Homo-oligomer: A and B are copies of this chain.
Amino acid sequence: MILVGQYDSPFVRRVAISLRVLGLPYEHDTRSVFGDFDAMLKVNPVGRIPSLILDDGEVLVDSAAILDHLDQSVGPERALLPLQGDGRRRALRLMALATGGIEKIGASVYERLVRPSACRWPDWIERCVAQGMGAVAALEAEPWPAEARIDQPRITTACLVRYVKMTSPELMPQGRFPRLDALSSLCEARPEFQATFPADYAVPRSA
Q: A residues near B, CB below 8 A?
A: 37, 41, 45-48, 60-62, 64-65, 68-69, 72, 84-85, 88-89, 92-93, 95-97, 99-101, 104, 115-116, 119-121, 124, 127, 130-132, 134-135, 137-138
Complex CA–CA separation, A120 to B120 (angstroms): 8
Q: A61-B96, A96-B65 are in contact. Are A115 and B124 (CB under 8 A)?
A: yes
Candidates B61, B69, B132; contact of A100 at CB < 8 Å: B61
Copies of this chain, tallied across the complex: 2
Hey, which chain B residues are within 8 Å of A124, CB to CB?
A: 115, 119
Minimum CB–CB distance from A77 to chain B (whole Å) comes to 15
Hey, which chain B residues are within 8 Å of A84, CB to CB?
A: 72
Complex CA–CA separation, A122 to B119 (angstroms): 10
Does the CB pair A46–B119 fall under 8 Å? no
